[in-house]
Amino acid sequence: MFEQFTSFDWIITVIILLSGVTGFMRGFCSEATSMFGWVLAFWVMLKHSDKIDFLLKSSIPQSNVRMVITSFLVFLGILIIAKITGLILKTFVSMIGLGPFDRFLGMVIGFVRGCLLAGLLILALEFFDIDKGFTKGSKLAGHFRQVNTIILALSQPILNNKLPNMPEIPDLPNINSVDLAKYIN
């Protein structure tokens, strides 16, 4: 099986393995709070950074610069809180003797993150039309394309509602619940 791998398959394999090893080294508590922190920071930045804009109004008169700075500060603040929470949880888990289990679950989360990164790599190559046959013949790319299709189809209503001024993107395939159930089962 491995002798039929293309160079792109090996790149995907290395991404997934490195992510899994990193997850093992950091442990579940650090991985979970980090992932949750990034998602929460991004969401809070999008939804609520404009609410603290007035604090910098006298210091920074340009609204665009002020918006970028407040967004960055909100994002960074949430990430710092998530990191502190992760360190507290990791210390607690180690104190009660669940360190090896924490590391095992961290490895699982790392492998999942590696798969998501590989899928995003394929999605970016295709979206920006960079893929000039690089994934051709790849044994693994097809699996990630199926996952990307499902994720894009499920996120399309969110993207259309939240980003009305977004440039035109190609139509995504329609996936009904029967097709989705076929992939899940």
On whether the pTM is more than 0.75, the answer is no
- Nearest Cα to Cα of residue 16 among 144, 152, 169: 144
Give me the pLDDT at residue 138, please: 83
Q: Which residues of the chain have pLDDT under 70?
A: 1-2, 131-132, 155, 157-185
Each residue's pLDDT tens digit, 115-145: 888 888 888 887 777 766 777 788 888 888 8
Give me the pLDDT at residue 167, please: 46
- Nearest Cα to Cα of residue 156 among 170, 142, 177: 170
Decide: 115 and 15 in contact? Cβ < 8 Å.
no
